[in-house]
Amino acid sequence: MKTLAIVLICVLALPAIAQQSTPQPSSSQRGRRTTQQSPPAAQPATPQPSSTPSSTEPEAPAATRQMSAEQQTPARESEREREATTRPAQPEAQRGGGGGATNTTFRFDMKETAPSVTHHQVTVNGRALHYTATAGRMPIKNGEGTTEALMFYVAYTLDGTDTATRPLTFAYNGGPGSATIWLHMGALGPRTVVMGPQGFMPQPPFRVHDNPYTPLDRSDVVLIDAVGTGWSRAADAAAARKYQNPEGDIEAFGEFIRMYISRNDRWGSPLYLFGESYGTTRSAGVAGYLQGRGIIFNGVGLLSMALNFQALSFSPSNDVPYPWNIPTYTAIAYYHHKLSPELQKAIDACQGDPDAPCPPIKQAEQWAITDYAAALARGDSMSAQERQNVTDKLSMYTGLSKQVVDEFNLRIDVGTFDHYLLLDQRLRVGRLDGRYALPEAGFPGSRGPGGGGDPASIETTGPFTMTFYNYLRRELNYKTDMPYYTSAQQSGMFLWSSAGATPAPGGNQGFQEEITPLRAAIVGNPFLKVLVMEGYYDLATPYYQAEYTMHELNLPAGYQKNVSYERYWSGHMVYLEQKSHAKLQKDWDTFVEETQGK
């Protein structure tokens, strides 16, 4: 499972501890804005050389790196951590965790400071919305009140409304190890990065514009960075280990939500979770975790869902993922004109109505879970003719040659498909979004299938990162020299660890799943609704595996109606494509309107 966790970190997370300065009003502020408080200006934990500016979150100098394990331990540990301390100690280098950390002796100042509060205006659906933006860091404390982490967030709240009853959405990306810059600047925030209509990178310099598809007209939105991502920091390595694992991550977000609704008097608001990618994994866990602590949600949005990691892990001994990927292969091959003329024309007819089912895609789905799944189960026991029939069909639905299909033993994983689909053009298609295609990052022959940077990530990281820094400094007046880690792996301090802790007969399973807590939340709250949102071109979390996973919840008929599905002709970040972004807003607004319990 450690290997799987690392792979998923690299795949799902998209792609840096320095000074914060006193904010100065900017002449290029957006709309009317007044700053009520200054952003954080905490003092460094350790002195810096006089030639270096004072740092809010300095990396520990060499002298600090010699501190003992006892000095790294927070004042109070959870039961899980106390049990861990009874095991034989390991050298620090061997206890680095699955996140690829190179620095495990860091310490950060946990002093809480006032957030930056500004005021703005945006027009949505012809209506001028006046709203308040609050950017700051929420303290995450242990049972004795010691701050173990500071979680960065930006909250957008509509002015002139009754906040005691207005819907409130908590949103985040996943990774694990991804900051929430993607949902913030691409989908939900009132200001988003300008990309091409299909979501491709424009020519720099990059800019932001008003987001006509923000859900702020229906719900306040709080965008949160996980510990170790963005501007969120753990106090030290011990605190990072506490929160950078599936269970600790859920606890951190659960505590953030409790603190936010307490500090802002939102206990009467209809509450929603909106997670993307591993954020859906987190949402399922948080919904069950907080329900057991008396915090009930009206709805959960799962965008690009990953709840059962077995359905995402390819291996010679695990045939589960292969059938669920076939319809996505078909959609991507269609986009790149690699299907037969007849199949291309049939899918062309589906483009007029994005809400309508697509018959040829449905045919691919049906073949994948019947004839294809049966063929994988039979393996070498198939006759030559039976194997040829499967080879022919698989080639037809994937756009790959029969030679490639046969060479890979009828088992086409994502890396193989990405590599071979456009090999004749010397391009590799994107895993996060199969519409994107770029030449291999390395020289030809320097890599096998599945390696290198993802084309969708390459085209989006620059525009999103540069506009985010500019937007936070100039418009939200949150000015800091700290690096914003779009991926926690950039920090060298990411200590994520997951060893597969799902209970099963005979012992824990070797893969993570969050189906169990989601089911507990659904059956424990008959009013809880779940909206599953998936992109046809997404190979990181293929849409058909998401639906398969939800169908495994084993819900009574009366509860099954509480789960609904929406599909988009886009990829992992469905909002990159403009029409899909508009549909996403419509779907979420409708979901909130129908579930807020008026």
Q: Which has the higher per-residue pLDDT, 82 or 257?
A: 257
Same domain, 6 and 112: yes
pLDDT of residue 73: 31
pLDDT at 473 over 70: yes
Domain of 122, in residue numbers: 2-20+41-48+56-83+96-310+478-595
Tally of CB atoms within 10 A around 455: 25
Residues 6+ apart with CB under 8 A from 36: 117
Same domain, 331 and 426: yes
Q: Are the C-beta atoms of 552 and 586 separated by less than 8 Å?
A: no
Q: pLDDT tens for residues 211-225?
A: 999 999 999 999 999
Same domain, 518 and 567: yes
pLDDT of residue 9: 44
Same domain, 436 and 515: no
Helix (H, G, I), strand (E, B) or coil at 230: strand
Average pLDDT over residues 188-199: 92
pLDDT of residue 23: 38
H/E element, 566: strand 563-568
Has residue 473 been placed in a domain? no
Whole-angstrom Cα distance, residue 206 to residue 462?
9
Same domain, 153 and 289: yes
Has residue 465 been placed in a domain? no
Q: Which of 231-240, 297-306, 507-516, 575-584 is least confident?
A: 507-516
pLDDT of residue 525: 93
Has residue 32 been placed in a domain? no
Q: pLDDT tens for residues 442-457?
A: 655 544 444 457 898 9
pTM of this structure: 0.82
Has residue 397 been placed in a domain? yes
pLDDT above 90 covers a percentage of the chain that reads 65
CATH number of the domain that residue 530 is part of: 3.40.50.1820
pLDDT at 578 over 90: yes
How confident is residue 192, by pLDDT bands cut at 50, 70 and 90? Answer: very high
Same domain, 136 and 16: yes
pLDDT of residue 496: 86
- Mean pLDDT, all residues of the chain: 83
Has residue 176 been placed in a domain? yes
Q: pLDDT tens for residues 318-338?
A: 888 999 999 999 999 999 999
Same domain, 422 and 497: no
Structure-block tokens of residue 544:
């058909």
Average pLDDT over residues 282-297: 94
Has residue 89 been placed in a domain? no
Same domain, 445 and 493: no
Average pLDDT over residues 229-258: 95
Q: pLDDT tens for residues 373-392?
A: 999 999 999 999 999 999 99
Has residue 462 been placed in a domain? no
Count the residues in the chain: 598
Same domain, 239 and 204: yes
Plot region of 126 (φ>0 → left; ψ -120 to 50 → alpha; else → beta): left
Same domain, 327 and 434: yes
Read out DSSP for 536-557?
A: TT-SSS-HHHHHHHHHTT---H
Same domain, 149 and 247: yes
How many structural domains compose the chain?
2
Q: Which has the higher per-residue pLDDT, 429 or 86?
A: 429
pLDDT of residue 358: 95
Has residue 537 been placed in a domain? yes
How confident is residue 103, by pLDDT bands cut at 50, 70 and 90? Answer: confident
Same domain, 127 and 257: yes
Q: pLDDT tens for residues 40-89?
A: 433 334 333 333 233 233 333 323 333 333 333 333 223 233 233 333 33
